[in-house]
Amino acid sequence: MGCCSGRCTLIFFCTLQLVLGLERQVFDFLGYQWAPILANFLHIIMVILGLFGTIQYRPRYIVVYTVWAALWVAWNVFIICFYLDVGGLSKDSDLLTFNISAHHSWWSEHGPGCVRREIPQAPGVHTTESHSYITVMGCLMDYQYIEVMHSGAQILIALLGFVYACYVVSAITEEEDSFDFIGGFDPFPLYHVNEKPSHLLLKPMYLSP
C-alpha cells in the first residue's frame, strides 16, 4: 500500500515537472536562451524516463531520474545566482546565450505590466527594422525575480521528486527481495513432486515357427 501511494505521488510530481519544464522551455525559446534550452531538453527527457520507470516498476530508470534531480537542483541554484548577480555572475552578460547574441530573458520585455516604448527611425537611418526599441517601463516585477521564482519552484519540486524517488526505489527493491525469498524467481519451486521413473522391462520374445 505504501509503495503504491509513493508511486502515485512520484507520478504526480513527474507530471508536474514535465508541464513546468515545457512551459519554461517555451519562454526560453522566445528569449533565445540557448543554455537553458539545452538544460530543459535534457530535463524533459530525464523526467519522462523517471515517469516510465515509475509506471513500469523499473528501479534503474528511477535511479537515473534521482541523480538527474540532484543535478537539476544544482543547475537552478546556478540560475538563481546568475540573475541575482551572486559570486561574480551578472544577469547582463551573454553567458546563457553562449555569447552568440545579446538577447536576455523574455520576461525582461514582456513581464507583467511592462510597456515597451518605441520610436520611429531617425531620417536617413536605414536598417532592416522599421522602428528601434528604447526602454521598458511600468513593470510590476523585475524580470530577474520572475526567473528566480521559476527556478525556486523547480528546486522545490525536484527535491520532493528526489525524496519520493528514493522511497519508491527502496520499496520496489524490498518487494523484489521478499518475492525472491519465497521462491518467486527460483526456477526450481520449493514444492515439487518427486517422480520416480518407471522402468520397463523389455524381454525378448521368440516366435515358434
pLDDT digits (tens, 9 = 90+) for 43-89: 999 999 999 999 999 999 999 999 999 999 999 999 999 999 998 89
Cα distances from 124 to residues 36, 132, 159, in angstroms, run 39, 14, 57
How high is the pLDDT of residue 188?
A: 45
Residue 177 burial (CB count, 10 A): 9
- Higher-confidence residue of 117 and 124: namely 117
Closest among 161, 150, 172, 168 to 68, alpha carbons compared: 161
Q: Which amino acid, 95?
A: L
Distance between CA atoms of residues 120 and 78, nearest Å:
39
**Residue 128 banded pLDDT, cuts 50, 70, 90:** very low
Beta strand 115-120 with 131-137 is: antiparallel
Distance between CA atoms of residues 140 and 190, nearest Å:
71
Range scoring the smallest mean pLDDT among 38-52, 93-107, 125-139, 147-161:
125-139
Q: Give the CB-side neighbour count of residue 195, counting CA atoms within 13 A.
A: 4
Q: Give the CB-side neighbour count of residue 141, counting CA atoms within 13 A.
A: 10
Any idea where the domains of the chain sit in the sequence?
1-98+106-117+143-177
pTM across the whole model: 0.77
